[in-house]
Structures are given as C-alpha cells and as structure tokens.
Structure 1
Amino acid sequence: MTRALVVDDSHFMRTVISDILETGGIDVVDTASNGAKAVDKVADVDPDVVTMDVEMPEMNGIEAVEAIMDDHPVPILMLSALTTEDADATLEAMEKGAVDTFAKPGGTISTELSGHSEELVAAVEDVAAADPTAGHDVQQTTSTAGGDDFVDDPTLLVGASTGGPNVVESILASLPREADFRILVVQHMPDQFTSRFAKRLDESSDYDIKEAADGARIGGGEGLVARGDYHMRVSGYSNGRLRVRLDQSERRHSVRPAIDVTMESAAERVTDPTVAAVLTGMGTDGAAGVRAIKDAGGHTFAQDEETSAVFGIPERAIETGCVDEVLPAERLTEAITDSIRRST
C-alpha cells in the first residue's frame, strides 16, 4: 500500500485530502501543517509520496521541497490553487525537485476537491512510482560536429508528462537558435499552468515561446506550448510556417492535450524535416505519435529509463520499434541538433 504524508496549513484541507486518499486505498501515515514540520516528518516516517501545499507559514512549499530533496528525497506532488501566483510557485517547486502538480479546483481552501477524488488518487499513485532524483539539474551537452550548417525549416515536437517540465526546459534552453526550429511542446499539465510554463520556456530559451492560441502560426525560431485542456493539431503548413488549431474533442489516453494528437497531425501536414522527442511520464501517450513521425521520415528520440522520473511514455514509444535513439536527458539537445545537420 502506498504511504503518503499530507502537508497543508488548513486543517480542513488536510482532513479532506486524507479522507480522499484513505478511501482510495492510500495509507496516510501522517500530516503536517507547514513546510518545516513536513521536513521533519519525512525523515521520521519515510513516506512513499508527499502531497505539498504551496503557500504555508514558517516554511512554504518551495522551501520545503528544496529541503526534503537535499536531506531525504521522496516523490512530491504539489497541490496548487489555480492562480498565477501558485502556478509560478509550483513551477519553481518542480524546478527544486517536486515531480508533478495537481490543481485544487475552487481555490486554496477547496470545497470542490472531493468531486475529483479519483483523479487525485491516481495522481498520488503516479507520483509515488516516480524516481524523485531523476531528470533534475539537467546540464545538456552540445555538439559542434559538422558545424552549423542545418537543413531548412525543421520542426521539433516534444512530448512529456510526469517529471517533464525540467527536462523540456533544459532541452529548449540549450537549443541553438541558428537551427531555426519550429517548436511544438505538449506537456501534460493543468489548465492555467501552461501559460506560465510557456513564459518560463521563453525566458530560458533563445526561441520565442508562447502558449498556443487557436489559429496561431509560427515560423523559424518560434514555438508553442499546447494549452491545458486543449488538443493542439497542426492544421496547415506552407513556406516554412505552420498553423495550429485547438479543440476540446474527446480525451486520448485520458489526457488533453495529447502528445499523439499533435505528433500525428504534424506527420500528416509538415513536409519539411521533423524531429520528435518523448520524455519522462506515465502512460502510453506519444507512442502512436512517434510511429507517425518515423513513418513520415522524421527522426525520433526517447529519454532513457535512468534519467526518467517515470519511464512509461518513453518505454511505450521504444516498444513500437520506431525510436531512433534512447538517450539520457542531458544528451537529447545534442542528438536533436545533430539530426538536422546537413551531411558533408
């Protein structure tokens, strides 16, 4: 049985979360009312997973995540309100080592959380299965092999889920601007968070990255992050510019946005070189997309098990036989870049 520590400064929320998890078959071994107490209790009870509030007195969630990862690493799920401030803080907590996030419906003191019990239990179980130390502080290696003579109009498609934000950011931050990619990112993440994630990618990268809007067009040096709760499809491509459409059609693999939707539509529409990379995450999303990109003549990469917080998505893609290379997180930018260099 999965053993959880519930951390929240609200007694009401600690009770609600604990009841949901216990009903879902998770053993809540203890609770804590702030980050400082959480750090001590993690060391005492050694839980399989921690649910962590963001804003708390004495020591907030970000500080607690950093202390736990330094002293006694365990998988941590951030429980965040759907606010800009909490979204920024949650992304920072994930940078410090938290594995994933779950959005509290209805705000910090959420009376609506019970209506999302199954999703919360599933998220806690997924995070409990993660390697909390994998994929953090990724330092990409780069290659100058073959110089900077790249093919024209390449497109890069990146798909990730649990544990993915840090790896996605590290790849884009080190991607050479002269490669002139058109970038599409699908990161499984709650709505209201994807705009803040796109902003972080834009700030850390030489590429112009935005959250996707319906009908958005991008050319070389630009990228889009799929909006939370919307599929992102490539609807058109001409003269090195691609266009996307957003829709709320049926979830695929129980997720929206789905990696497969974006990759399959790109394979169908984009006629210039394509590169696809599937990263850490739970589930099977991305496998069909990788197959489609490979069948269309593109290059395909998967993150390896050792550096993946959760190996589900890469493993399912590898099993298709359509992945060109399986690589540690820190070598992905190098491989992606080398794949579009002109042959000499």
Structure 2
Amino acid sequence: MAYKVFIVDDSAFMRRIIKDMLTEDKDIEVVGIAKNGKECIEKLKDIKPDIITLDVEMPILNGIETLEILKQKYGEIPVLMLSSLTSEGADLTLKALDLGAVDFITKPTNIFKINSDEKKLEIIEKIKTASKINVKHKVDVKHKVDVNHKKDIISPKVHIKKVLDEKFSNLVAIGTSTGGPRALQEIIPYIPEDIDASIMVVQHMPPGFTKPLAKRLNSMSRINVKEAKDGEELMRGTCYIAPGDYHMTIKERYGNKYIIKLDQGKSVSGHRPSVDKMMESVSQIDSLTKVAAILTGMGADGADGIKKIKLNKGYTIAQDESTSIVYGMPKVAVAKNAIDKILPLGNIASEIIKRVGV
C-alpha cells in the first residue's frame, strides 16, 4: 500500500523536485499538488492523502494560516512542514510544531542540494514515519504537577527570574527527536525555579533552530532556558539545549564545577547532536545524582546512553507510547532494559521534581 502524499509549495521548481524525488520510491504516490494554502484547502475536498508536506512561507495563505485551517477541517491528516534555514523560518516552524505539525524538513541554503541523496533519504524517511502517526490519538496532556509551577506565557520582562548560582546536587538529562519541541513544552515550563538540579537537553534539530527553541521555552518557564555554549559552567535552575550540529557533553572540574563541551565530531547513528553521547558523559559524573528521560522520537538514539546512566546508579524515565508522537526512541530504551519507569508525558515533570527535590 502506497503512502499518499499531497505537496504544497509556492515554488514550481520545489514542487517538481519534491514530486520527482518522491515518485522514485515505489511505496510513495503523490496524489495532489498545490501552489498555495488556499488551493490546498480547495483540493482536499476531493483528495484524501496520508500526509501533507506544507511550505512555511507562501503567499495568499502562508504555512501557519493553512495549518490552522487543516487542523480544524482535516485534523486526522499529519502535516510535515518544509522550512527555510532562516531565523524567521525557524520561528515559524516552531510555531507550526506547536500548532500540531508532526515534524519538519529544512530546505538547503543551496536549493539545488534539495535533490541530494542525503536530503532525499531524509524526506522519504520522514514522510513514511509521519504518515503512520495517528495525530488524533495523541490526546491533550493531563499534568500531575501543581499548575502554579507553570506561569502563563507572558513577556519575560514581566516575569523576573531568580538568578541561581549556588551548587546543585542533581543532573537531569533529556533526549528527544520527532515531537520533541511540543513534549519539552509539557516538561520544562513545569519545573520550579528553585529546583536542586541543572538540566541538559538534546533535541534533534539542525543549526538555527535550537536557539529559537530555547528562547521559546525560556519565555514559558520559571527556570532559565538557553542554547548551550562551549566551556560554560552548569548552573542550578538552568536548562541547556545542545546547539544544532554540535554534540554536547559534560566534564567535571576540580571544585565541583561542571563544564559543557561542544564539538563537531562524527555523527553518532546519524545524529549530531547525539543523545547517546550526551547521556554517556552524564553517566560518568559520580558526584551528582543523575535522572534521565527519553522522550518521543524515531530511531534508537539515547537507548545506549540512558542505559549507562541506569547502570551507574541513575534513575531513568521513558515517555509512554500513548503520548509519544513517535514511539521509537523510548521503545528501544525500554527493550534494552534501560528504563526504571515508563510514564505519560504529563507525569514526567512531577517525577523529575520528586526525584531531585527543590
């Protein structure tokens, strides 16, 4: 049975390239093409695709406006965004993920590289994975944590965060991929500002997207959230997100100081940043209590690393299947006997708080 794809892009060149690329795969059938959001909505009256690829920046109806209509009228169809590598494109893509797009693909800076074997493989893999997602099955998250831990999304100028530089006793490591930005929004903003921990996060994303993600999470959260920098010291009540295209690890220095190291070493299982590499480094920190969580995502990145944390006296959590956009990474970690507790997304923040204290 073929994966039925509907392509929406304002560029005739991109529409042709994507269609030709997809039809090379015997399991994919392009059932519709539209040059803007308005045309897409009209054509969907007669076409029932398994997935829609949606350009972020378009005239008449842009990707965000189109997505909002799609979620209302055709909420059962997964939507995969196609984004430019610009700061505006990154911000709009994160908004699209927040509105319910299941994942995104970046257009290369050199548009002719869109047809490269690497990009072709990425697009086909993401389309096949996203097509299988039952987007209606992922119900609203119900939290088991005091809602006072999460502030309303207001201007950061209104909410003055505490600057916490005192020592901490716990290190929290979180790894995620497809569906991760939305999942992180259901964990990080629920962490209290006086938590006795520092938090490290690897979210599979290309360069240019992790900084806007950190900024977005920071605007929602009581703790400080930032894109990590090489050589900076971990602080209590701060969450560090690995920059796109950089591995992030942690090193212990004399005097109980913990320093972030960033590098562009070889990809690990096709990923840079790698959850495995981050978690393996965390597993070697014996002077702190370690808590790790694997969230939604396709593939197996993080399973080996989180098992090392478990074997070195850490406590490990996996997001359950019912709340995962893609139950890949957590599933592999569970299969490797690397997980102490499997929880729905809404329970993970409270479990972390319970384990590390404030």
Structure 1: gaps spanning 5 or more residues: 145-150
Aligned pair partner of 2:63 in 51, 61, 64: 61
Determine if contact 1:228/1:256 at 8 Å carries over to the other structure.
yes
1:264 is matched with 280
Q: Determine if the alignment matches structure 1 residue 100 to structure 2 residue 81.
A: no
**1:89 to 2:88 alignment:** no
Residue 341 of structure 1 and its aligned partner are, at CA, apart by: 3.7
One-letter amino acid of the structure 2 residue matched with residue 327 of structure 1: L
Matches within 5 A, 1:136-147: 138-142=141-145
Look up the match of 2:5. Answer: 4
* CA distance in 2 between partners of 1:210 and 1:43 (Å): 43
User: Could you tell me which of 197, 206, 224 is aligned with 2:222?
Assistant: 206
- How far is 1:41 from its partner? 3.3
Which residue of structure 1 lines up, in the alignment, with residue 236 of structure 2? 220
Give the count of matched residue pairs. Answer: 334
Partner of residue 306 from structure 1, selected from 288, 313, 322: 322
The separation in 2 between residues aligned to 1:337 and 1:85, in whole angstroms, is: 34
- Name the SS of the counterpart of 1:132 in structure 2: coil
224-233 vs 83-92, greater mean Cα deviation:
224-233
Alignment partner of 2:10: what SS? Answer: coil
Of 82-91 and 152-161, the range deviating more from structure 2: 152-161
TM-score, normalised via structure 1 length: 0.91
Structure 1 window deviating more from structure 2 (269-278 vs 251-260): it is: 269-278
Q: How many Å separate the matches in 2 of 1:288 and 1:43?
A: 46
Letter aligned with residue 33 of structure 2: T
Aligned counterpart, 1:147: none
Determine helix, strand or coil for the equivalent of 2:356.
coil
SS in 2 for 1:183: strand
1:205 to 1:136, Cα distance in 2 relative to 1, 3 A = farther
- Identity rate of aligned residues, in percent? 38
Alpha-carbon contact 1:194-1:227 (below 8 Å) kept = yes
Describe the SS at the equivalent of 1:87: helix
CA distances 1:33-70 after superposition (whole Å, capped 9, x unpaired): 11222234345322111111011122111122222122
Q: Distance in 2 between matches of 1:9 and 1:85?
A: 17
The amino acid that maps onto 1:78 is M
Aligned partners of 1:6, 1:248: CA distance in 2, in Å?
Answer: 34
Out of 74-83 and 127-136, give the one that drifted further.
127-136
Could you tell me which amino acid in structure 1 is paired with residue 322 of structure 2?
E
Q: Secondary structure at the match of 2:181?
A: helix
Greater mean deviation of Cα atoms: 5-14 or 38-47: 38-47
Cα-to-partner distance string for 1:229-253 (whole Å, 9 max, x where unaligned) = 1111112256554211111222112
Q: Residues 119-158 of structure 1: matches in 2 within 5 Å?
A: 119-133=122-136, 138-142=141-145, 152-158=168-174
Q: Which moved more, 1:126-135 or 1:159-168?
A: 126-135
Does 1:77 pair with 2:80? yes
- Shift in alpha-carbon separation, 1:219–1:329, aligned structure 2, 3 A: same
TM-score (norm. length: structure 2): 0.88
What amino acid sits opposite 2:177 in the alignment? S
Moved more, 306-315 or 321-330: 321-330
Give the corresponding residue for 2:163: none
1:165 to 181, 184, 189: 181
Distance 1:71 1:237, change over 3 A: farther
Q: Conserved in 2, the CA contact under 8 Å of 1:140 and 1:171?
A: no
Answer yes or no: is the 8 Å Cα contact 2:90–2:209 preserved in 1: yes
Distance in 2, matches of 1:240 and 1:134, equals 45
Q: Distance in 2 between matches of 1:284 and 1:268?
A: 21
Q: Which residue of 1 aligns with 2:18?
A: 17
Which of 287, 294, 299 is matched with 1:283 structurally?
A: 299
Deviation at 1:298, TM superposition (A): 1.3
1:235 correspondence with 2:213: no
* In 2: Cα distance, 1:94 partner to 1:203 partner: 17
Q: Given that residues 302 and 314 in structure 1 are in contact (C-alpha distance below 8 angstroms), is that contact kept between their aligned partners in structure 2?
A: yes
Structure 2: segments with no counterpart, 5+ residues: 148-166
Q: Kindly provide the amino acid, as one letter, of the partner of residue 62 in structure 1.
A: I
RMSD, aligned α-carbons: 2.0
CA shift at 1:135, angstroms?
5.3
